[in-house]
Structure formats: structure tokens, C-alpha cells
Amino acid sequence: MASTVIGANITIEGEVIADEDVIVQGTIRGKLVAKDGVTVEAGAVIEADVSGGPMTVAGQITGNVTSTDRVELQSGARVVGNVKAARITIADGAHFKGNVDMDV
Amino acid sequence: MASSGTIIGPETRVRGRITGATDIEIQGHLEGDLHASGEVRIDASGTVAADVHGRRVIVRGAVKGNLSADESIHLEEGARVVGDIHAPRVAIAPGGLVRGHVETGKGDGKHAPAASHAARAAAAAPARHATPSKAHAPAKPARHGAQKPVSKSRITLGGGKSKAPAPVVPVLKKGTKAALTKKR
């Protein structure tokens, strides 16, 4: 269960460093580093480099995404930036602009 | 719960500014500013080095910074606060620790810290004014010669920059002691 939640009407300008799951519904500008899973829900806005474990993205990310596990861009997601992960899935209807770097 | 509020979990560190309209619960570490129009809850495991403003602020953890609220501030058992507290209503439960200025009553919470800083400056000012006046006084007796060593030490205490070389250590110590006892 995720222990850190950035709610829908919250803006964080700065660094978020979590040794646990993070769910983002609001806005983060700066940097997001998580040890475990990152969930970017629809409506969330991240203008930051994001790194962590398994990621599920339904919101908007502007910045580079690095994952030790998988990155899943769901329908409605908007990602501008490079994605580096072991596995990447992009669902139909997801907007994506950037390089993809997978463990080939 | 997850849909409405914001939680900074116990294993999470945030460095920067958090602003928002929802309730915020801090179980982890925050360094920066926190400004919320909802309820702010700092749990027992939470450590905050920041100025915190909320509609209501409830503290069970550690805070280093000023607290202000539109409605009320509750310091519950286990709360450790180093900083000023300003809200229409302030409650400190047994086991809550505070070091700082506490002010209840209406008024803009934002002005409270500034006002208290001004008050502190004003409180500190007389001490500063006092020493120059002492420094002026010895200017005349300095010609007499007898009181010279004492007056010198006083000048260095108050003016500081007026005399470049520091006086001999025992003299300074005597002067410091005298000045301290005079202030009291």
C-alpha cells in the first residue's frame, strides 16, 4: 500500500525522496525519487525527473523517467521526456514524445 | 482517504515548498515551506523544518519553524515545537513542548512572525543602545586615566569595531561580567 500521497490540489516545488510507494494526484516541480512504485494518476502534473521502481502513468510528466522495473503509460497519459526502464508498455491513446531505452 | 488528502509517508523526505487546498498529513520529513488551506497534521513520526500554515494545524511530532493557522493550532502529547505560534485559538496539551512566542487571537497569521521578530529586535535594541551610551561616558573619564582599563573594555563590548585590537583577555572577561550584571 502506498504510503505517500500527493493529493489533487497540492503543489510541491522541490525534491521528493521516498523509500516507499508514491501516488501523485497533484503537481510536483523539481525532482521525484522513489525506491518503490510510482503512480501518476490522471490529472497529475509532474515537471520533474522521475526515478523509482514500477511506474504507472495516467497523468502528465515533463521530464526524464527512469525505472528499475517497468513503466506503463496508460491511455490519456502525456509524457515528454526520455524513458529508461527494463520494460515499457504504451497503451493506445497515450501521448509520448522522447527516447525509449530498454534493456535489450 | 487516498483520493482526498495528501500524505507524506514515514519513509519520504520532501525538500521544497508544499502548497495546496487539501488536508495534508506528514509522517515523514519536510524541509521548506508548507502552506495549506486545509488541515495540516504532523504525526508523531513527522519531522518538519519549515514554516507551516494551515486552516487548522495539529502537531504530534517535531517542528522547527513558525506555526500559523486560520482557525486553530493543537499541540498534542509528544509535540516538540521550536518556533513562534500564532492562531485565533491555540491549545497545548500536557506533554506538548514549545520554545517560542505564542500568540492567540485574530489577525493575519502571516504578520505574526514578522511582528514577533520586530518585538525581539526592539527588546534587543535597548541593550545595544545602552552600551554606546556607556561608551560615550568613558570618553571623558578616559582623560582622567584612572578608569581607563574598565572603560576600554566597555567600548570593545559595545562598539566592537571602534578599537581594532582586542584587549587583554582578563580585562575583557571583567568587562563582560560587569556589563552582564549591569543589564540585570
The tens digit of pLDDT for each residue in A31-76 reads 999 999 999 999 999 999 999 999 999 999 999 999 999 999 999 9
Partner-chain contact B24 A20, CB within 8 Å: no
Partner-chain contact B15 A14, CB within 8 Å: yes
How many Cα atoms are found within 13 Å in the side-chain-facing hemisphere of B164?
Answer: 0
- Tens of pLDDT, residue by residue over B77-135, are 999 999 999 999 999 999 899 999 988 887 554 444 444 444 444 444 444 444 444 44
Residue A83 reports pLDDT greater than 60: yes
Chain A and chain B share a number of CB contacts under 8 A equal to 90
Chain A residue numbers touching B21 (CB-CB < 8 A): 9-10
Which cell is B160 given? 566592537
Q: What is the pLDDT of residue B5?
A: 84
Q: What is the pLDDT of residue B124?
A: 43
Chain B residue numbers touching A8 (CB-CB < 8 A): 3-4, 22
Residue B173: pLDDT band by 50, 70, 90 thresholds? low
ipTM: 0.81
The pTM of this model reads 0.67
Residue among A9, A15, A26 whose CB faces B14 most closely = A15
Residue among A2, A8, A21 whose CB faces B22 most closely = A8
Which cell is B158 given? 559595545
- Opening angle at CA A34, ends A23 and B60, nearest 5: 70
Partner-chain contact B22 A10, CB within 8 Å: yes
d(CA A28, CA B9): 16
Q: What is the pLDDT of residue B61?
A: 95
